[in-house]
Every structure is written in structure tokens, then in C-alpha cells.
Amino acid sequence: QVQLVESGGGLVQAGDSLTLSCAASGLTFSTYAMGWFRQVPGKEREFVAAITSSGGSAYYADSVKGRFTISRDNAKQKVYLQMNSLKPGDTAVYYCAAKPENGRYYYTRVEYKYWGQGTQVTVSS
């Protein structure tokens, strides 16, 4: 079955950097666009970043643009989220997600078919 396993979360201070990883198995990774979403208690899960199946294009939420970078390694079946200049407002559970590549709807949560269990990122001020 499909598994997405996130790692790399933790407690950091404002201004620090952190890299999240997501290891995928059970799917043809190179045919799926990958995304990162985040969620805080009481709020909806929100889009953070996405990358096309080839890795040729990336998309970002305005709140993280210029600070976060999404990348992927299709040979290793992994996707990464490099997070720089972290702010307390970035505190959330971060989820990795996969959707079949169709050239659109990268920002749309319901389009993503598979989800990881999430990893906590806490940024202290």
C-alpha cells in the first residue's frame, strides 16, 4: 500500500532553518506531484508548497514564498521542504501529500490522494 512518511520536524528558534523529508513507497513516485501542507489546531489544513512530478515547477503559498524551498529526488522517492527564516507563525503539523500529476490543482487540498501522518514543527520566539 502507499506510504508517505515525514521526518525532520522539531523545536527551533525564530530565524532558524529546518528541512523536512518525506519518503514515499507503494506508488510510481515519478507520476505524482507532491505537496506540503500544514495545520494548527482549530484551523483548516493549508497549502504550503507543491512540486510537479518532474520537479520542473514549484508552487508556494504567499506566506512562505522566498523562505521555503520544495525539492524532490525521484530516484530516492523523496520530497523535501527546506524552511529558512522560520517564524513562530510557521508552527504547525506539516503533512506530505501526493496527487496524480495532471498539470493543475497543485494548491487544492482535496486533489491530493495520499497523505503522511505529519510531523510537528514548533518555532519559538
Residue type, 5: V
Residue 16 has what pLDDT? 98
Distances (CA, A) of 115 to 28, 42, 56, 125: 15, 19, 22, 30
Residue 3 near residue 9, CB atoms below 8 Å: no
Write the pLDDT tens digit of every residue in 46-81: 999 999 999 999 999 999 999 999 999 999 999 999
Task: Name which of 54, 14, 38, 42 is nearest 96 in CA terms.
Answer: 38
Cα 101 from Cα 121, distance rounded (Å)? 28
Structure letter (DSSP) for residue 87: -
Indicate the DSSP class of residue 57: -
Contact 84, 67 (CB under 8 A): yes
Query: What's the pLDDT tens digit per position in 70-118?
Result: 999 999 999 999 999 999 999 999 999 999 999 999 999 999 999 999 9
Q: What is the pLDDT of residue 39?
A: 98
Question: What is the C-alpha to C-alpha distance for residues 65 and 123, in angstroms, rounded to an integer?
Answer: 18
Residue 121: predicted pLDDT: 98
27-45 per-position pLDDT tens digit? 999 999 999 999 999 999 9
pLDDT at 10: 97
Q: Are 25 and 89 within 8 A, CB to CB? A: no
